[in-house]
Amino acid sequence: MKLKFGPCIKAAAISGSLLLSFACDAQSVQLLLIRGDSLLDADKPQRALDVFDQAVKKEATPNTLLARARAFYKLDRMERFVQDIDRVLRMDSTNGEAHFQRGVYSLQGNDSDRAEFHGARAIQYARSDHYKAKAYNLRGEARAERKHFNEALDDLSAAWALGLEDEHAMRTLAQLYDMEGQHDQALRVIERLCDLDPVDMGNWTNRALELNALGRYEEALSMADRALSSDKDEPVAMSHRAYAFAKLGRDQEAWEAVEHSLRNYPSNPYALRTRAFLRIRKGDRAKACDDLSLAKALADIPEVDQLMLENCSSEGRKR
C-alpha cells in the first residue's frame, strides 16, 4: 500500500526531524487560528477563546495573542484583552494591529490622549490601505474628542478618501465640515449616509440642514419632509422645514412649523433663530432679540450674530 504524507512529513524529508516538529507545530497553530476566527464569525466567542488558548499554549506570538485578544474583547473581558495587547506591544512595538486595538480601547475609556498616540502608531505601521484608513478614523475621533478639529477633519477625510465607510466616523466628518462652513462637503458625506442607512431619520434631518445652508430651500423642504415621515413631530427636522419656508417667503407656513418645533423642543436654537427672523419681518424686534440672545447662548449659529448686529445693537435699532 502506498502511504500518503502530509506537507509537514514532506518538509521533514528535506531537513530532518527538527524541521518536521517546527512545520507541524506551525501548521497546527495556523489551523487553530483559522478555526477560532470561524467561531468568532459565527458569534461563538467562548468556543473561539478555547481554541485560541490552545494556539497560545503552542506558541505565544503576536498573531496568537492578538487572536485571543479578539475573543476577550467579544466577551467583554477587557482586563485580559489589554493584557494580551500590551504583551504583543512589548514583543513588537511596530505591530500596527496591536496599536489600533489598544487605541480603540483607550478611546472607549475616554482616554483620547492615549487613543491618539496609538492611532498615530497604527497609521505608521499599517499593513494595507484598509488598516491605515481604520487607524486614521481612530486618530480622527480621538482628535475630535480633544477638540483639535482641524486635525480631526484631516484624518477623517483621509480615511474616507481611502474608501472606508464607517458610519460613526462619517457623521463626525460631516459635523466637522459643517463647523468649518464647508457645507457642500458635509452634504456629500450625508448623502452617502442616507444611502447607507435610509432608516436613520437623523441623516435626512442633517441633509435638510446642509441644503438650507447652501440656499437650496426647496430641496431642504423635501429632506425635512422625509425625516418627518418617520416622526411628524420631530422638532429639529420641523425647525429646518420652518427655515426653508421662511427663506422662500412662505411666512405663515414657516410660523406654524417653528411654533410646532418649539412646543416640543423649547430650547432648539435653530427654531429660535427662525422665529426671530420671522419676528423681525413683522417688526417685533424686542421679542426677536430675546430669541436671538437665547439662540446664541445655546449654539454657535453664524447667522445669529449677524441678525443681532443688524437688529439688536444700538446702531441696528436706529436703522
pTM: 0.84
List, for residues 54-113, the tens digit of each pLDDT value.
Answer: 999 999 999 999 999 999 999 999 999 999 999 999 999 999 999 999 999 999 999 999
**pLDDT the model gives residue 273:** 96
pLDDT at 16: 46
Look at residue 302 in the predicted model and tell me its pLDDT: 80
Give the rounded percent of residues in the chain with a pLDDT score beyond 90: 87
What pLDDT is stored for residue 2 in this prediction? 44
Average pLDDT over residues 211-226: 97
Q: Give the C-alpha separation, 223 to 238, whole Å.
A: 11
Instruction: Rounding to the nearest 10 degrees, give the CA dihedral for residues 170, 173, 178, 182.
Output: -110
Q: In this predicted model, what pLDDT tens digit does every residue of 6-46 receive, in sequence order?
A: 445 444 444 445 444 445 566 789 999 999 999 999 999 99
pLDDT at 208 over 80: yes
Q: Quote the pLDDT of residue 103.
A: 97
Report the pLDDT value the prediction gives residue 19, as an integer from 0 to 100: 45
pLDDT of residue 172: 97
Residue 13, CA distances (Å) to 8, 10, 23, 30, 108 in order: 9, 5, 12, 21, 51
The total of other beta-carbon atoms located within 10 Å of residue 300's CB is 10
Q: What is the pLDDT of residues 121-149, one digit of tens each?
A: 999 999 999 999 999 999 999 999 999 99
* Nearest by Cα to 34 from 60, 57, 54: 54
Phi-psi region of 83 (alpha: psi -120 to 50; beta: other; left: phi over 0): alpha
Q: What is the pLDDT of residues 306-318, one digit of tens each?
A: 999 999 976 445 4
Q: What angle do CA 202, 112, 139 make, to 5 degrees?
A: 70
Whether 194 has a pLDDT exceeding 60, the answer reads yes
Percentage of the chain exceeding pLDDT 70 = 90
**Do 144 and 152 touch, CB atoms closer than 8 A?**
yes
Q: What pLDDT does residue 27 have?
A: 73
